Amino acid sequence: MDRQLVFELPNDLGCIEGAVEFVLLRCEFCEEVSRRLRFNFRVSLAEALANAMLYGNGGDPAKRVRVEVTVESSALQARITDQGSGFDPDRVPDPTAPEQLHRPCGRGIFLMRQLMDEVHYNDQGNAVTLVLRFQDTEALLREASA
Amino acid sequence: MAFQVSREGDVLVVDVDGQLIVGNRQELKTRVLEELEKGEQKFLVDFSSTGYIDSSGLGVLVSLSKKIREQGGELRLSSLNEDLRTLFELTKLDSLFRIHDSREEGLQGF
């Protein structure tokens, strides 16, 4: 895969699955992290794109979402940037709290944080960076096979 | 069509083919609510052929379960693969639904 993959998407929810598949295909060489790549990263990238389109860009079809995927020797990073004014991710309630459990929304950021090694927002709150570390996966695989 | 609806006795079974995601969740919601309005009470959503559910898909199941319960009915889930089950466990939604290993198990005692 290229060291860096950069592209923009229209603000169209129908583009998400194709974009996620495109990124995963370009990461096929990462076979040693296949499950975490195909599940953890896939879910998190799709959630980040949906949040960017629905909430960040407010569903505005004139806006776009920028995707930057970087592969390093120790990690895979994806930065998703929308054209909205941003938000404070620390104010999003825990969806697993008893009073939140019956709500139909609010699980996307939680899932990203659970499934990725790191999740960072920029100060404005309109860009999220997802980090999947390779070395931890290899350690987990060694533990699993021990 | 991502959703196939069939009947097993008095249970309406919905098979989700492929994905239940932000792009098609409304289709499932509309379909199930139509059946609820017609008087159906017992729903089983089977994920044998499902590769992926996103948080919007989880949300629509939560929403449907609530509406069905309010009408005195029940929504059960079945045949989740390991990845899908992980999503329900992480979000603690496994405590909100009756999740069965197979369609047959889900239909038993409904």
Per-residue model confidence (pLDDT) at position A77: 94
Mind listing the pLDDT tens digit for each residue in A52-94? 999 999 999 999 999 999 988 788 999 999 999 999 999 999 9
Per-residue model confidence (pLDDT) at position A140: 52
The nearest alpha carbon in chain B to A53 belongs to: B22
ipTM of this complex prediction, to 2 decimal places: 0.88
| CB under 8 A, 24+ apart: contacts of B82-85 | B83/A39, B83/B52, B84/B47, B84/B50, B84/B52, B84/B53
CB contact under 8 A, B93 and A101: yes
Total tally of structural domains belonging to chain B? 1
Of B19, B58, B66, nearest to A17 by CB-CB distance is: B19
B58: nearest Cα among B80, B73, B33, B31: B80
Which of A15, A41, A107, A115 should one mutate to test binding to chain B, selecting the residue with the greatest count of B CBs within 10 A? A107
* Structural domain boundaries enclosing B80: 3-107
Domain ranges of chain A: 4-145
Per-residue model confidence (pLDDT) at position B85: 95
Average confidence (pLDDT) over B8-12: 95
Q: How far is B5 from chain A (nearest CA, A)?
A: 23
The nearest alpha carbon in chain A to B92 belongs to: A96
A4-145: which CATH topology? Heat Shock Protein 90 (3.30.565)
Mind listing the pLDDT tens digit for each residue in B25-72? 999 999 999 999 999 999 999 999 998 899 999 999 999 999 999 999
Chain B contact for A26, CB < 8 A?
Answer: no
